[in-house]
Amino acid sequence: MAEDLLLSANTVAAAAVFILGLIVAWDAFWLTRQRTDIPTLGELSNGGFAWQSEGPHEVIRQWGNLASMAAMIALPWALIGVSNTSYWYAIVWDTFLSLHIISLLIPKRYAITRTHLFADGQRYSWSRLRLTRRQPARRIMLLRQGWGIFGPLPLGGGKNDLSVARSRIETVLDSQSNWSQDGFQQSQEE
């Protein structure tokens, strides 16, 4: 009777492949927006700054994700024989993961404005970001508030671009911190 309630290995594999396909499509959609959101590079008219990474910068930025993707490509092959799952699910899984790896390595555009950070085709409000205390040498590491350990947001790019970007980020975050403190002090005085 308990066996009747369990899903077949092929059903679970199909669901996993379908979810991975949605994730790859979602990421691809957002990556296509980066040229629309950031049409020009360098100094922006609103006082912001935009830059573009190159493939090697993205390898440095994404090294942890790339290592986990390699493990995820190999893992299904070890489980196919044990679970009696069709090998076609592993082939499609590996194809989707390979496409995802390619999307991780595509050069990205980033922009900093007074109100938002643009990265990976998405817009992040500065009120939801903070710089990590210890910064890695060849990228900028931000944390998304409320995400815990799942919230790192690394930014890639050349040394000069990252230097300018970090300076701008510190300025924006400091001005927001001062604004928050001033607003808090004014509300206490009233």
| Model pLDDT, residue 151 | 79
pLDDT of residue 173: 86
CA dihedral for 137, 110, 98, 65, sign (positive or negative): positive
Q: What is the pLDDT of residue 131?
A: 86
Distance between start and end Cα atoms, the chain: 68
Domain map (residue ranges) of the chain: 9-182
In degrees, to the nearest 5, what angle opens at C-alpha 164 toward C-alphas 50 and 146? 75
User: Model's pTM, two decimal places?
Assistant: 0.76
Low-confidence ranges of the chain (pLDDT < 70): 1-6, 177-190
> Which pLDDT belongs to residue 3?
54
Tokens 């986990």 sit at which residue? 68
| Per-residue tokens: 65 | 């994700």
pLDDT at 174: 84
